[in-house]
Structure 1
């Protein structure tokens, strides 16, 4: 099976000094909205993506915790990248829906880990691929979870 272009790029760039920073910037150049949270993509492999964000004022809400939508952006980014490098290269994806739970105040730097809940497959028709994203704080406590339904369909 052919390796996804995004995964090849990640593997090539992250070997360089400051490679994870550079790769993260490249992703945000391609999808500019995600730059609002200044993500750092630290792990990207089939079946898993890890994204971190620093504790910056720009991601805070009015009470000084990480804003709910910043957590949603982080979750969508991690899920999208993981899906892109996990599904067969003959397939494409788009988020179809997201269900989230805020479990405790999100204080400090955050870490999101995205994994598929089912094995992706090649198919003649589109199908939903559920992805779980767990966001933890510095102490490893879960502060937020998301279940994102990705619509996976054949490339035209």
Structure 2
């Protein structure tokens, strides 16, 4: 069970600047994610860790990391983890997200996405919830999301 994104990650991150190149490749495919400047720390089936640095372009008017930047980080980490985890014959799309803002988001943010249940290969689509925890450099959880992914068989083209 290995997706194209996981294969690319494993291959490209062995190179110098490989983590940066991987993030740029994903941002070419889905350009909006470039707005947060993601850096992938780890990717394996069932787990994805993405970091964003604290800089002005992700701030809100009070100087903390903007709520939507945190949502963007959560969706990116959940989507890439989902792609790396589900069987190759399946595809996914987010259908909903519930979020909790737990503390002021100051500094570098580290998102960890994990599934609530094992991935399966099914004849029809199913909801697959993914949990994302976002922590600051001190390890304090500042944001939490539950993203409902819709996983379904790839259609023949």
How many pairs were matched up? 155
Gaps of 5+ in 2: none
Query: What's the TM-score, normalizing by structure 1?
Result: 0.98
Q: CA RMSD of the aligned region, Å?
A: 0.5
1:113-143 per-residue CA deviation (whole Å, 9 max, x = no partner) reads: 0000011100001000000000000100000
Gaps of 5+ in 1: none
1:19-63 per-residue CA deviation (whole Å, 9 max, x = no partner) reads: 101101111111000000000011111000000000010000000
Corresponding residue of 1:84: 83
SS in 2 for 1:51: strand
Moved beyond 6 Å, runs of 4+: none
Q: Structure 1 CA distance, aligned partners of 2:5 and 2:103?
A: 33
Query: What's the TM-score, normalizing by structure 2?
Result: 0.98
Corresponding residue of 1:27: 26
Q: Structure 1 CA distance, aligned partners of 2:56 and 2:108?
A: 11
Corresponding residue of 1:71: 70
1:118 aligns with 2:155: no
Corresponding residue of 2:61: 62
Q: Structure 1 CA distance, aligned partners of 2:98 and 2:38?
A: 21
